Amino acid sequence: MMQRRGFLRLTGRSILAAMLLSAFPGAAVLAATPQQISDFFRAVQMDDAATVKSLLAAGVNPNQQNPVGGEPALVLAAREGSMRVLRVLLDHPRIQIDAPAINGNTALMMAAFKRNRAAAEALVARGAAVNRPGWTPLHYAAASGDEDIARLLIKRGAKIDALSPPASGSYTPLMMAAREGHPDMVAFLTEQGANPKLANSEGLTAAQIADKARAKR
């Protein structure tokens, strides 16, 4: 009889959890243990989609920041190229696609920096923001020299002359391409309408930034 009551209590909790998740998709019904969280982020790094699915079902918050490094799972998956996990996370009903890491990076920004076109396309298709205050995915694509991702972002409405935060120099994507030594990206962004006459917080244009960077190499 006691076993039967225990079963009924467990079943009742399961039904209640399912109802709460259905009514409030953003609610965390189950609490994950520190070990589960550690295993979760390890699985993200290893592109172990099966383990990620299991731990999400066990109550790990898909948007939680990694205690080591401060990255949400989606940002980490984009950085590590864990595409199977990235797709699992994108399909999760509670995923916050633009949840930033502690340093401000989003998954789309990281995909652009890592030249991961498949991840960038998947994120953009799910509505990831191409524009945001401060650093943007286009800054990162320009810095990495990935013209395909830059083209994708511009097609989706990325601001060609977006400015990084004043504290970081007020750089445009064109300036980042110039600083990192990507002449093809400089030409592409200029063709797309980037303004070469804009200056950063030091008063330097993209061409002057490129000269300064070359002098240091």
The CATH number for 144's domain is 1.25.40.20
Is 13 among the domain residues? no
Nearest to 149 by CA among 178, 179, 167, 128: 128
- Averaged pLDDT for residues 180-195: 97
Whether residues 96 and 154 fall in one domain: no
On whether residue 123 sits in a domain, the answer given is no
83 in any annotated domain: yes
For the segment 3-20, what is each residue's pLDDT rounded down to a tens digit? 444 333 333 443 444 444
User: Does residue 175 share a domain with residue 107?
Assistant: no
DSSP 105-164: --HHHHHHHTT-HHHHHHHHHTT--S--SSS-HHHHHHHHT-HHHHHHHHHTT--TT---
Q: What is the pLDDT of residues 43-69, one digit of tens each?
A: 999 999 999 999 999 999 999 999 999
Query: What predicted TM-score, i.e. pTM, was given to this entire model?
Result: 0.85
Q: Is the pLDDT of residue 170 over 60?
A: yes
Among 57, 76, 111, the domain boundary falls at 111
Mean pLDDT, the chain, integer:
89
Please check whether residues 135 and 97 belong to one and the same domain. Answer: no
- Are residues 158 and 209 both part of a single domain? yes
Find the mean pLDDT for residues 32-45. 96
Residues 72, 38 share a domain: yes
Per-residue pLDDT at 147: 97
Asked if residue 7 is part of any domain, the answer here is: no
Any domain includes 180:
yes
Q: Is there a single domain that holds both residue 106 and residue 171?
A: no
In this structure, are 152 and 216 located in the same domain? yes
Question: Do both 89 and 52 map to the same domain?
Answer: yes
Give the model's pLDDT for residue 216: 81
Residues 209 and 134 grouped into a single domain: yes
Q: pLDDT per residue over 86-95, tens digit each?
A: 999 999 999 9
* Enclosing domain of residue 203: 130-217
Is 160 in the same domain as 207?
yes
Long-range pairs, 180-184, Cβ under 8 A, ≥24: 180/142, 180/143, 180/144, 180/145, 180/213, 181/210, 181/213, 181/214, 181/217, 182/142, 182/143, 182/145, 184/145, 184/147
Query: How many domains in the chain?
Result: 2
Is residue 95 included in any domain, yes or no? Answer: yes
Same domain, 101 and 169: no
Kindly state whether residues 98 and 143 are assigned to the same domain: no
121: tokens are 């396309």
